[in-house]
Structure 1
Amino acid sequence: MDPLGPGPAIPPSGSSPAEPPAGTGGGVVLSDVMGRDRSINLFAGFVRDTESASQRLENSAENTTVLAPLNSAVEKLPRKPWEDPRDYDTLGSNAYEGDDGQERAQRNLRRFVEAHLVPVSPWKEGQKVKPIAGDREVWWEEKDGTKLIQPGAIEVVSVAGDVANGQVWIIKGVRNYASAN
């Protein structure tokens, strides 16, 4: 095993004084559970490719509710999450080529991912919160036994992970991320 690597596969017993107290999921954090459900592996990959999101989901001190769209919802988008029609309007069909294009694509992907990260957990019904990216508040409500993310009435399929720093909610749609900053 590489002495500079991530450490042993089996966690040591006890906790170091620097670790915050464990929540409902023990020492497991959101980054540990994001890739477990294949139905959201596209979004989980986007999270891994977005440094700010990865760091947040690894941080046991920052609670987050992840609104993870189903693969089918991502696949139905009219464009890739890293594409922005405004970039094409301004720069043409080569908007994502070269170093500048890669930076633009990464910024757009970050906006998409962060529009699906709510910086609270537990998240109470009706509690209006601004996601990490964007200035439009989101909330959830239950109707006929179904959780719906508002605005947009996006159905929550299930809660795929409940861990020390938050929850992963699998959703049937994609939040409107075009207006996120």
Structure 2
Amino acid sequence: MKNGLLTLYLCLGAAAARNVFQGLKINDIDSLEKELELNKRDGKNVVSLELSEADLGLLKKEKRDGRAYSGLQIPFEMSQPELEDALMPDAKTGNLATALTQIQDVSIFSSYIRDMVDLYQKCDDTTQFNTNSQSDNMLLIFAPTNEAITELSEKPWQFPRPVTRESDANDEASSYNLRHFVESHVVQGSNVADFAKEEVVLKSLNGNRIHLRNTDTGFELSLEDVDEWLPIRKIELTANGALLLIDKTLSWPHRG
């Protein structure tokens, strides 16, 4: 329509906005110019059209049906770019053992796993554990950041069993505590299809029941006995499982 005006409204909070609006093509330069003039105002939920031709990616003018037009590509910005890494990426060729060494934010937790030979071997095993399998045989590691661990009132090797002052990290109680802490964050027997579900309940190696849900803004988790949802900061999908970064630990002193 020659005299039609193209109005653009982006409702923040729309359920699938981040996946649907990748860009909008406009082929009527007359309507665009009118709309640019109309949109010179502050609009909380309105996409600004005050962009230069360079920003819009103005293509060369062509003829169609006897009139000139320009093809434009308007790039929409993500309303929550900090959540971009929380979306499911393509699987990498490496395994969990490799991924753990590459992310500095979880280096403390990674060092705990490396000290547990049996668990570290699972992270390195792509035969028994395989992301591409349709069976429930992939590993999930909910890895707390270094900051989350250092903020604990006690060191992970100091709870839940009491450790005497003379004890060190090599005694029986400390070893038990450290394993208990790590196993609170590891799930064995998941499937990549779990990420497509609205919500799934997972069980960690030491019995933690973890609710993982897929929301409009990314993935988040909650422990069954804790009324709080924790956003997943980032997901690394590997050949034998997934590494999920979180800002809080799933085990802490005096829990329960």
Do the structures match in fold with TM over 0.5?
yes
- Given that 1:111 and 1:177 are in contact with CA atoms closer than 8 Å, whether structure 2 keeps it comes out as no
- Given that 1:121 and 1:165 are in contact with CA atoms closer than 8 Å, whether structure 2 keeps it comes out as no
Task: Tell me the TM-score normalized by structure 2.
Answer: 0.52
Deviation at 1:115, TM superposition (A): 0.9
Aligned to 1:25: 92
Q: Which of residues 67, 70, 75 is equivalent to 2:150?
A: 75
Distance 2:105 2:173 in 1: 27
Aligned to 2:124: 58
Aligned to 2:205: 132
- Distance change >3 Å, CA 179–CA 141, structure 1 → 2: farther
Deviation at 1:97, TM superposition (A): 4.1
Larger radius of gyration: 2
Q: Which has the higher contact order (CA 8 A, sep 6+)?
A: 1
Aligned to 1:46: 112
Matching residue's letter, 1:131: S
Q: Superposition RMSD on alpha carbons, in Å? A: 2.5
3-state DSSP of counterpart to 2:175: helix
- Distance change >3 Å, CA 97–CA 39, structure 1 → 2: closer
Distance 1:83 1:52 in 2: 22
Aligned to 1:103: 172
Aligned to 1:149: 221
- Given that 1:65 and 1:121 are in contact with CA atoms closer than 8 Å, whether structure 2 keeps it comes out as no
Where does the alignment leave 5 or more consecutive residues of structure 1 unmatched?
1-22
Where does the alignment leave 5 or more consecutive residues of structure 2 unmatched?
1-89, 130-137
1:91-112 deviation digits (Å, cap 9, x = unpaired): x433x249xx622211111111
The alignment-based identity, stated in percent, is: 21
3-state DSSP of counterpart to 1:31: helix
Distance 2:240 2:175 in 1: 25
Q: Which moved more, 1:52-61 or 1:79-88?
A: 79-88
3-state DSSP of counterpart to 2:233: strand
Deviation at 1:52, TM superposition (A): 2.6
Task: Tell me the TM-score normalized by structure 1.
Answer: 0.72
